[in-house]
């Protein structure tokens, strides 16, 4: 690795390490301080009593009903686009299945795009459906996390707070101001922000060219800060209007990590146990750093089929400097590795390169990120999933050493373990069953353009992405067909809300329990031993669950390339 590559990585990670504790402290203030006058005005407008506490069932009901309304509103805008104003290019409406897929995608914070943004959506649709759903999807995830955290902090209560209060606090005090300020930087760097739909420009050769523009900068910031990922343009972060300079590429990396990496510190502040938050941050950082190292190493390698020995004894390598296929030369491999690893670890799904052109080992890392979905995971729900893993790891440790399973002073019993396990099982059931179904049915196989392990990997990646609220895709699979549009749309809804409801029930169960005093028999969960235990537990569960499909996909393709076999 060249010297400047190390500098790029260290500076970028150093900024995250510097900002994450500060943002975590600020978010804790957001949820622990009194309501502001503007918030109280919104509560009155919505006829909501922010002081009314909700049980986990009531909290889950409000969350589901509000998101059902958001989904229906987004669907109607996309399906009725041709009839709405703000469409000077007279674009037709999306088909019902693609409108369903898109509304489900954006309301679940997935942002899977079965459409080409600049070619199929008007500016009104980009703002009224896409950007709106980006905001509410991220706010919902953050509200759910706060409710789960209250399960660990409350004693002898049956309530978890108020959904609308949690939803609006984050939106007004953190999310919206950050989006506004960072959008100004994107505009300064050359990202368009206009209500015009297109401009005409003369090319160097003389003919005129029509360039599609719109409110790109505002969408770009909410896309990254909210771990959404869906771009204004079909090329996403590889498009020069969305990501015009290396500075904006670094800025987008920071936007994706700004809130997500701060959540362990936020948790430590909310629970009054900063050391516990630091321990969980170390777990996230180890998983993230390992993934980044493998991606960087993989992409700096030459494709064995293009190495000199594979061509002829006199031939020179066709990939000096590594695998630049599908990458922007203005960004390079290291910037791309940083961006893609952060995007997949935070389940943002934004891309600044062609994912289908990545080497198999890099795709292996991306798949593992989506299978775990907690390092740091999507806005709010990713870290909530890590707390679920911590509960299961504590229970396992208690069985091994003969101590009573406790986490943050709460006794972990059979009900909590069943709820955590139920939430954990959703991912393998959805991803593996739907992948198997799609490689068997003609409707699924007809969209696969690549044979062998690469084609299988594309299908596996699609369903892993839909389940993990990620949204990135490998372009070799045609997902605009009714089969994939409907099936992935249903999977995104199930993958978002099925794991979330058991977590709220888990929090409700813990909130009712009394806090136990620490004794000599208490297993500490803020120590290096617990960090190693949690990492080992997560690795063991991932290996037992997903190792077979990883063998059939990226590992088999990697070994085939080493032996000179292509597909």
HEC profile for 374-423? CCCCCCCHHHHHHHHHHHHHHHHHHHHHCCCCEECCEECCHHHHHHHHHH
pLDDT tens-digit map of 175-195: 999 999 999 999 999 999 999
Q: Locate 514 and state its tokens.
A: 């009394």
Residue 13 lies in a domain: no
With b for 16 or more beta-carbon neighbours within 10 A and e for fewer, the 244-269 pattern comes to beeebbbbbbbbbbbbbbbbbbbbbb
Place of tokens 């198997």: 436
Residue 494 lies in a domain: yes
Half-sphere exposure at residue 147, Cβ-oriented, CA atoms within 13 angstroms? 37
Looking at residue 29, what is its pLDDT? 96
Phi (first) and psi of residue 236, to 5 degrees: 55, -135
* Distance separating alpha carbons of residues 168 and 136, to the nearest angstrom: 10
Looking at residue 315, what is its pLDDT? 46
R_g over Cα of the chain: 23
Residue 3 lies in a domain: no
Residue 11 lies in a domain: no
Tally of structural domains, the chain: 1
Residue 113 lies in a domain: yes
Looking at residue 320, what is its pLDDT? 58
* Distance separating alpha carbons of residues 454 and 552, to the nearest angstrom: 9
Residue 168 lies in a domain: yes
DSSP, collapsed to helix, strand or coil, labels residue 271 as helix
* Distance separating alpha carbons of residues 223 and 528, to the nearest angstrom: 35
- Determine contact, residues 20/265, Cβ cutoff 8 Å: yes
Residue 150 lies in a domain: yes
* Distance separating alpha carbons of residues 183 and 562, to the nearest angstrom: 45
Residue 567 lies in a domain: no
Looking at residue 314, what is its pLDDT? 47
State the pTM of this model: 0.94
User: Which contiguous run of DSSP H or E holds residue 251?
Assistant: helix 246-258
Q: Locate 407 and state its tokens.
A: 């986490």
Looking at residue 2, what is its pLDDT? 65
Classify residue 338 as left (phi > 0), alpha (psi -120 to 50) or beta: alpha
- For 323, other C-beta atoms within 10 Å of its C-beta total 21
List the domain range (segments joined by +) for residue 228: 20-199+210-312+320-562
Phi (first) and psi of residue 353, to 5 degrees: -160, 170
- Determine contact, residues 62/153, Cβ cutoff 8 Å: no
Beta bridge mates, 327: 353
> Which ranges of the chain have pLDDT less than 70?
1-3, 307-321
Phi (first) and psi of residue 114, to 5 degrees: -95, 25
Place of tokens 């991220």: 138
Q: Which residues contact 280 (CB under 8 A, 6 or more apart)?
A: 264, 267, 383, 386, 390, 534
Place of tokens 């504790």: 21
Q: Locate 46 and state its tokens.
A: 């919505």
């Amino acid at each position: 690795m060249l010297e400047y590559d190390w500098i790029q990585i260290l500076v970028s990670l150093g900024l995250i390490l510097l900002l994450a504790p500060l943002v975590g402290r600020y978010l804790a203030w957001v949820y622990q301080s009194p309501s502001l006058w503007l918030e109280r005005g919104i509560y009155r407008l919505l006829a909501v009593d922010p002081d009314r506490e909700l049980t986990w069932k009531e909290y889950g009901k409000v969350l589901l009903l509000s998101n059902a309304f958001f989904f229906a509103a987004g669907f109607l805008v996309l399906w009725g686009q041709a009839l709405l104003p703000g469409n000077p290019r007279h674009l037709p409406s999306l088909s019902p299945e693609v409108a369903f897929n898109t509304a489900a995608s954006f309301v679940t914070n997935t942002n899977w795009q079965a459409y080409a943004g600049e070619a199929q959506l008007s500016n009104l649709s980009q703002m009224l459906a896409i950007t709106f759903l980006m905001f509410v999807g991220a706010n919902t995830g953050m509200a759910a996390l706060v409710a789960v955290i209250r399960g660990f902090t409350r004693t002898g209560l049956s309530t978890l707070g108020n959904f609308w209060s949690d939803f609006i606090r984050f939106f007004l005090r953190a999310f919206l101001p950050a989006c506004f300020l960072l959008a100004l930087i994107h505009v300064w760097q050359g990202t368009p922000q206009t209500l015009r739909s297109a401009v005409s420009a003369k090319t160097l050769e003389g003919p005129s060219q029509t360039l599609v523009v719109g409110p790109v900068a505002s969408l770009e910031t909410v896309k990254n800060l909210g771990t959404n990922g869906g771009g204004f343009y079909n090329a996403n972060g590889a498009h020069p209007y969305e990501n015009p300079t290396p500075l904006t590429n670094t800025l987008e990396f920071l936007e994706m990590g700004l809130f997500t990496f701060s959540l362990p510190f936020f948790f430590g502040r909310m629970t009054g146990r900063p050391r516990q938050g630091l321990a969980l941050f170390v777990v996230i950082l180890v998983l993230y750093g390992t993934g980044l190292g493998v991606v960087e190493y993989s992409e700096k390698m030459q494709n064995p089929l293009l190495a000199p020995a594979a061509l002829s004894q006199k031939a020179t390598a066709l990939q000096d400097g590594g695998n630049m296929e599908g990458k922007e030369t203005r960004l390079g491999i290291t910037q791309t590795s940083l961006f893609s690893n952060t995007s997949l670890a935070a389940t943002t799904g934004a891309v600044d390169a062609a994912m289908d052109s990545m080497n198999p080992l890099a795709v292996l890392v991306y798949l593992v990120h989506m299978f775990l979905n907690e390092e740091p995971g999507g806005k709010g729900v990713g870290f909530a999933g890590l707390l679920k893993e911590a509960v299961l790891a504590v229970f396992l440790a208690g069985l091994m050493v003969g101590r009573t399973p406790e986490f943050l002073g709460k006794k972990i019993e059979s009900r909590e373990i069943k709820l955590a396990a139920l939430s954990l099982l959703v991912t393998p059931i959805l991803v593996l069953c739907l992948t198997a179904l799609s490689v068997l049915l003609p409707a699924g196989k007809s969209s696969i353009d690549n044979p062998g392990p690469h084609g299988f990997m594309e299908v596996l990646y699609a369903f892993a992405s839909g389940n993990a609220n990620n949204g990135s895709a490998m372009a070799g699979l045609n997902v605009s067909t009714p089969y994939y549009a409907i099936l992935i749309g249903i999977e995104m809804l199930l993958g978002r809300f099925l794991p979330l409801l058991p977590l709220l029930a888990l929090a409700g169960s813990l909130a009712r329990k009394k806090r136990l005093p620490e004794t000599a028999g208490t297993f500490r969960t803020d120590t290096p031993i617990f960090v190693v235990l949690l990492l080992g537990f997560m690795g063991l569960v991932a290996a037992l669950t997903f190792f077979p499909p990883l063998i059939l996909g990226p590992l088999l393709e990697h070994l085939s390339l080493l032996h000179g076999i292509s597909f």
